């Protein structure tokens, strides 16, 4: 049967960038004979407008059935005053929680044509291609006890860093599997010098590593890792770390390479019956209400998220590379959406012009 894909464009620029992904999907049907069973549904503010909830049960059920979910972005000023449980973000959180997506993949990849755009020296970032795997469902953002409590005559704010062996084991396995598909090099980051959860993290990752003897495993304290990531990021290939450190390190690594409009992500869960992991792909950026409806959005982050789906959900790694090379090509040709221009006086291309150019580059490939 055809690979199945649920598309959730969401709010703001979400539908605009997703329209460009549709062009790529159509290209695969017309030129490569690969047909995806695509269904489309609502998430976020638009779902609230239609159903009074940011994610309808029927949409949630659909997400559990398909091979992969591709999401645009959710949110906008119109929904800022909604009750917490009805906010657009709750739709996204529900997807992540009920699909149990524990491994968040954040690539930091530098397209040569944009190397000047980085805040780091060109030779430090040119050709950079690393992947951070962040644990997404546990750790200090979820651990109990948590809260603000009275203690004597003052208050105390408490959060708890908590990891079970099985939580570490499963995200470590995702990272090792990824390392096997890439350059067989994995660096695990924690703070085993000052945190017991870090000691356990290091032990379990080392143990899982015995199942992957081909992967060269190293360990680094997360603060030293932050230094090394800015000093010489190319020393890394895959990095695996917990929820908190991963939040910081993945944002840091992302900005090594430039604009928010360029950054894809994937969140993976346990393997399904067909062997594919539960998966949600989405650009890192939000709904960008400041530019929504103006044809200014950069569709590349969403297009690269689809490329990740090709690679990690559909075993179409060569086609994923093709899409990435088409992106590289249009950037090398000088095409830039407004977010990639900074102070330069050049004329930007629109969202749809960028999408069309990428399809044309695919055609030529
Ligand atoms: P944002 O990522 O939407 O925008 C930040 C800045 O980057 C804006 O100036 C925007 O114009 C620009 N930008 C973002 N994506 C771009 C693209 N593809 N092309 C060109 N420029 C782009 O973050 P912000 O402004 O903090 O949040 C706006 C709304 O999005 C809020 O409602 C927020 O809750 C929501 N949000 C949703 C996320 C999601 O759906 N995963 C993630 C982050 C924020
Ligand atoms: Mg963050």
Ligand 1 site, residue 305, Cβ cutoff 6 A = no
Ligand 1 site, residue 348, Cβ cutoff 6 A = no
Q: What 3-state DSSP class applies to 346? A: coil
332 assigned to some structural domain: yes
123 assigned to some structural domain: no
ipTM entry? 0.98
Contact predicate 55/94, CB 8 Å: yes
Q: Would you call 223 a catalytic residue per the annotation?
A: yes
Do 247 and 266 lie in one domain? The reply is no
Whole-angstrom distance, CA of residue 327 vs CA of residue 321: 10
Q: Is the pLDDT of residue 46 over 80?
A: yes
- Give the CATH number of the domain where residue 165 resides: 3.40.718.10
Q: Which tokens hold the place of 362? A: 């695919």
Do 275 and 327 lie in one domain? The reply is yes
Do 273 and 348 lie in one domain? The reply is yes
My answer on whether omega of the bond before 122 falls inside 30° of 0, hence cis, is no
The reported pLDDT for the residue numbered 255 is 84
* Domain with 61 in it: 1-109+259-365
Q: Is the pLDDT of residue 148 over 90?
A: yes
Which position has the token pair 């690594």?
A: 253
| Beta pairing, strands 129-135 & 103-109 | antiparallel
Among the listed residues 42, 180, 175, 43, the one whose alpha carbon sits nearest the alpha carbon of residue 102: 175
Contact predicate 304/262, CB 8 Å: yes
φ, ψ (nearest 5 deg) of residue 129 = -155, 90
Do 139 and 80 lie in one domain? The reply is no
Do 101 and 150 lie in one domain? The reply is no
Whole-angstrom distance, CA of residue 339 vs CA of residue 343: 10
Do 244 and 292 lie in one domain? The reply is no
Last residue of a domain, one of 223, 255, 287: 255
Q: Angle 191-196-199 (CA atoms, 0-180°, nearest 5)?
A: 65
Last residue of a domain, one of 205, 223, 255: 255
Do 294 and 239 lie in one domain? The reply is no
Which position has the token pair 């789906």?
A: 309
Do 264 and 245 lie in one domain? The reply is no
331 assigned to some structural domain: yes
Do 217 and 317 lie in one domain? The reply is no
Q: How far is the CA of 365 from the centre of ligand 2 (A)?
A: 35
Q: Would you call 62 a catalytic residue per the annotation?
A: no
312 assigned to some structural domain: yes
Ligand 1 site, residue 261, Cβ cutoff 6 A = yes
Among the listed residues 118, 239, 126, the one whose alpha carbon sits nearest the alpha carbon of residue 172: 239
> Which H/E stretch holds residue 281?
strand 277-283
Do 152 and 51 lie in one domain? The reply is no
Q: Which of 26, 100, 223, 356 is catalytic?
A: 223
92 assigned to some structural domain: yes
Total count of residues recorded for the chain: 365
121 assigned to some structural domain: no
Point out the annotated binding site for NAD(+): 76-89, 286-298
Whole-angstrom distance, CA of residue 62 vs CA of residue 98: 12
Do 138 and 178 lie in one domain? The reply is yes
Q: Would you call 329 a catalytic residue per the annotation?
A: no
Q: How far is the CA of 134 from the centre of ligand 2 (A)?
A: 11
Q: How far is the CA of 85 from the centre of ligand 2 (A)?
A: 21
Q: Would you call 37 a catalytic residue per the annotation?
A: no
pLDDT digits (tens, 9 = 90+) for 91-119: 999 999 999 999 999 999 988 888 877 77
Q: Which of 48, 67, 191, 242 is catalytic?
A: 191
Last residue of a domain, one of 210, 229, 255: 255
> What total number of domains does the chain contain?
2
Ligand closest to Cα of 106 equals: 2
117 assigned to some structural domain: no
143 assigned to some structural domain: yes
Do 61 and 134 lie in one domain? The reply is no
pLDDT digits (tens, 9 = 90+) for 314-335: 999 999 999 999 999 999 999 9
Ligand 1 site, residue 262, Cβ cutoff 6 A = no
Q: Would you call 129 a catalytic residue per the annotation?
A: no
Over the chain, what is the mean pLDDT?
95
pLDDT digits (tens, 9 = 90+) for 264-319: 999 999 999 888 999 999 999 999 999 999 999 999 999 999 999 999 999 999 99
Q: How far is the CA of 136 from the centre of ligand 2 (A)?
A: 11
The reported pLDDT for the residue numbered 66 is 96
């Amino acid at each position: 049967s055809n690979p199945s894909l649920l598309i959730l464009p969401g709010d703001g620029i979400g539908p605009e960038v997703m329209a460009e992904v549709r062009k790529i999907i159509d290209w695969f049907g017309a030129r490569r004979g690969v047909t995806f069973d695509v269904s489309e549904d609502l998430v976020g503010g638009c779902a609230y407008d239609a159903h009074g909830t940011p994610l309808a049960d029927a949409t949630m059920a659909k997400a559990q059935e398909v091979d992969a979910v591709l999401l645009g972005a959710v949110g906008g000023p119109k929904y800022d005053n909604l009750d917490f449980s009805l906010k657009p973000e709750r739709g996204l959180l529900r997807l992540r929680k009920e699909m149990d997506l524990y491994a968040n993949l954040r690539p930091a990849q530098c397209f040569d044509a944009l190397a000047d755009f980085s805040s780091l020296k060109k030779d430090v970032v040119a050709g950079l291609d690393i992947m951070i795997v962040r644990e997404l469902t546990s750790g200090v953002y979820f651990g109990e006890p948590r809260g603000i409590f009275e203690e004597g005559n003052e208050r105390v704010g408490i959060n708890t860093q908590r990891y079970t062996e099985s939580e570490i084991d499963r995200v470590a396995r995702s990272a090792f599997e990824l390392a096997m598909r890439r350059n067989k090099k994995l660096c695990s980051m924690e703070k085993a010098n000052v945190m017991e959860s870090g000691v356990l993290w290091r032990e379990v990752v080392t143990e899982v590593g015995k199942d992957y003897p081909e992967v060269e495993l190293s360990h680094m304290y997360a603060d030293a890792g932050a230094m090394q990531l800015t000093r010489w990021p190319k020393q890394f290939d895959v990095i695996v770390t917990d929820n908190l450190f991963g939040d910081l390190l993945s944002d840091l690594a992302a900005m090594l390479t430039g604009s928010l409009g360029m950054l894809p992500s994937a969140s993976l869960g346990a393997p399904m019956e067909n062997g594919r992991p539960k998966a949600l792909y989405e650009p890192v950026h939000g709904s960008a209400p400041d530019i929504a409806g103006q044809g200014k959005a950069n569709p590349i982050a969403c297009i690269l998220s689809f490329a990740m789906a090709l690679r990690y959900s559909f075993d179409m790694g060569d086609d994923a590379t093709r899409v990435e090379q088409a992106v590289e090509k249009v950037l090398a040709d000088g095409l830039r959406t407004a977010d990639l221009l900074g102070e330069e006086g050049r004329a930007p291309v629109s969202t749809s012009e960028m999408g069309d150019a990428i399809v044309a580059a695919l055609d030529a490939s």
